[in-house]
Amino acid sequence: MSMRFDIVVIGAGHAGCEAAAAAARLGSRTLLITIDLEKIASMSCNPAVGGVAKGQIVREIDALGGQMGRITDLSAIQFRMLNRSKGAAMWSPRAQCDKAEFSRLWRRTLENTKNLYLWQDSVVEILVDQSAEKPRVRGVKTRMGVCIECSRVVLTAGTFLEGVMHCGDAQAEGGRAGDQASHGISAQLSSLGFEQGRMKTGTPARLDARTINFDALEMQEGDAQPSKFSYDPDTEAVKEQMPCFMVYTSKRVHDILRTGFDRSPLFNGTISGIGPRYCPSIEDKLRTFADKEQHQLFLEPEGRTTNEYYLNGFSSSLPYEVQYEALRNIVGLEDVHIYRPGYAIEYDYFPPTQLNHTLETKLVEGLYFAGQVNGTTGYEEAAAQGLMAGINAHRSLRGLEEVVLKRDEAYIGVLIDDLVTKGVDEPYRMFTSRAEYRILLRQDNADARLTPLGHEIGLVSDEKYDNLLKKNAAVESLISKLRKTSVKIGEIDSYLISVGEEPLSQGKRLYDIVLRSNVTISSLAEAHPNLKRFIAKEALSAEVIEQAEIQIKYRGYIERERYFADKMHRLEEIAIPDGFDYAAMQSLTIEARQKLTKIRPQTIGQASRIPGVSPADINVLLVKFGR
């Protein structure tokens, strides 16, 4: 048994799984090391994938050839497209998953991936050769004393680095409930010069469905016609959906929770780590929104074959008895039994400004960071980073150009650029508002944006790429048909009136009629036999029809955003030499000199996004490097 590998991935969470699968599929001999093989890709918190902006990321992962979307489809128990009432740029897919099935499918996928090997152990040291001009990776050492040689390491340890769990006055070491923490790596990286910090996250109590009065709760069902995440033909939309339920806190519940505030590790100084602003604990909510007498919560099933339910929105580290009493004062939960109480967890992270856009560290050659070690929160953000780290670790090893996605190419590009350029002062979560090119980065066109790249680098199959080409051709064919086909006055007036639109005052092309707010291609086809016959003859799918409609209705907005994105590319193309001495440029502000020296931007475009670097500073750099 050879213990020499091209790439070693530390941690088998969502980042580690994507990194290992990508590197191995591309041809690198890869080893994935995890503390527990039974908990690969464990959904430690909410058993759901996607949501606002997160769903876009999952479709991008799939378009590039990653696995999260496919496995989500195969394990889904409910699917919803969020924000359907808003514009297409805001539509965000979200799926509730069978937690155990999701993990099982990931393990099956990894075990059947060529070039990929699994090892159950805990890494305590990253072996580094410091004899060269720049330190470089040469292997890892495990808790069991095994030394494994490799040329690249991807660190995706999640919440396990020096992890400590908190529940009221009680504390215990661990990366999550039931699992030991990882020791040694943080101290070693610190000795190599890496800056580190502490963050915290939390999770709610898990409840026994047999003790919940569902009749008293408001049901939340999935979409009547559910879609799916993956573009692969071997997955399909979920058929038998399970409902979620909405429950509400009350003034009585809040009063009970407040009785435990003096024992809350969040408030008494026990926890020093910074928590996620946009996924706060219930005690944080009561402090921040002290005037609110009610908070909405979501009761979500953890799988088809378990009675365990997740109470989304009730994350807490209060003493378990306080959690228990508060829960039993919620309508529908009066007799509830808790499988396990909520808890908070503190862990080490490394500020991501210490990374290049490839996710390789600036201090150690061949060492990549991905996931919560970079200060992010969420399965989707972690998986995206893992995928890119795995791709780039493989490509750098082969002497190939590494892949860096731009901000107008993918939410993944926005995510990584934000981390590397701006850093984090709290756990980073992706939102649509973080992207300046939201209309370009829609969930519906992720394949058009990224599948050609995935195919070029070797992660997307010929079949999947051919499917994209056929889809694109079908969309163009439908748009062409709409441009060429005209209707006369009175021909579809009854249809237009039925959808709240004015009748025609002159002949129009179908293309122009689709531009009207209340008109859809599908409903228009019912009123226009020629169009209906064309759609049937060409066997156009609902996805093709929707894509054509979006391109028509949003064409002006799309072209405008593309114009601004292309304009910004000019700044991205102006490179800044490595090692440039900003301190010597007295025409820059002091803050700009300090920030530029710390971040070391590679282009003027990246420099323009660093907080504290003003437009005047950018003009100075343009004079120096660009004009």
C-alpha–C-alpha distance, residues 147 and 4, integer Å = 9
Q: Identity (one letter) of the amino acid at 517?
A: S
pLDDT in tens, 505-516: 999 999 999 999
Tokens of 132: 């060269």
Tokens of 125: 């040291």
The pLDDT value recorded for residue 280 is 85
Q: What's the full length of the chain, in residues? A: 627
3-state secondary structure 445-505: HHHHHHHHHHHHHCCCCHHHHHHHHHHHHHHHHHHHHHHHCEECCCCCHHHHHHCCCCCCC
The pLDDT value recorded for residue 240 is 94
C-alpha–C-alpha distance, residues 318 and 167, integer Å = 6
Q: Which of 305, 316, 569, 393 is nearest to 31 (CA)?
A: 393
Q: 55: burial class by Cβ within 10 Å (0-12, 13-18, 19+)?
A: buried
C-alpha–C-alpha distance, residues 177 and 42, integer Å = 12
C-alpha–C-alpha distance, residues 411 and 63, integer Å = 12
Tokens of 148: 């494994």
Instruction: Give the three-class secondary structure for 527.
Output: helix
C-alpha–C-alpha distance, residues 297 and 214, integer Å = 14
Q: How far is CA 304 from the centre of its chain?
A: 25
Question: Residues 8, 150: contact at Cβ < 8 Å?
Answer: yes
Q: CATH classification of 573-626 is 2.60.40.10, yes or no?
A: no
Q: How far is CA 71 from the centre of its chain?
A: 15
Q: Which of 136, 144, 141 is nearest to 124 (CA)?
A: 141
Element (DSSP H or E) covering residue 416: helix 411-417
* H-type alpha helices, 117-220: 185-191
The pLDDT value recorded for residue 67 is 98
Q: Which of 56, 143, 42, 133 is nearest to 92 (CA)?
A: 56
Element (DSSP H or E) covering residue 69: helix 68-75
The pLDDT value recorded for residue 276 is 81
C-alpha–C-alpha distance, residues 321 and 334, integer Å = 15
Tokens of 612: 């504290």
CATH code at 462-558: 1.10.10.1800
DSSP letter at 261? G
Report the CATH fold assignment for 206-343.
Answer: Elongation Factor Tu (Ef-tu); domain 3 (2.40.30)
pLDDT in tens, 304-336: 999 999 999 999 999 999 999 999 999 999 999
Instruction: Give the three-class secondary structure for 172.
Output: strand
The residues that bridge with 414 in the sheet, in sequence order, are none
Tokens of 193: 């010069």
φ, ψ of residue 295 to 5 degrees: the values are: -130, 140
Comma-separated ranges of CATH 1.10.150.570 domains in the chain: 573-626
Element (DSSP H or E) covering residue 600: none
DSSP letter at 336? -
Element (DSSP H or E) covering residue 298: strand 296-301
Q: 580: burial class by Cβ within 10 Å (0-12, 13-18, 19+)?
A: middle
Question: Residues 165, 171: contact at Cβ < 8 Å?
Answer: yes
DSSP letter at 269? S
Comma-separated ranges of CATH 2.40.30.260 domains in the chain: 206-343
Instruction: Give the three-class secondary structure for 543.
Output: helix
The pLDDT value recorded for residue 268 is 85
Residue where the block lists tokens 């009432």: 85
C-alpha–C-alpha distance, residues 223 and 241, integer Å = 9
Q: What is the dihedral of CA 556, 557, 558, 561, to 10 degrees?
A: 120
The pLDDT value recorded for residue 176 is 87
Tokens of 77: 């128990």
The pLDDT value recorded for residue 627 is 60
Strands 92-97 and 48-50: antiparallel
C-alpha–C-alpha distance, residues 590 and 587, integer Å = 9
Tokens of 282: 């219930």
Low-confidence ranges of the chain (pLDDT < 70): 1, 627
The residues that bridge with 489 in the sheet, in sequence order, are none
Comma-separated ranges of CATH 1.10.10.1800 domains in the chain: 462-558
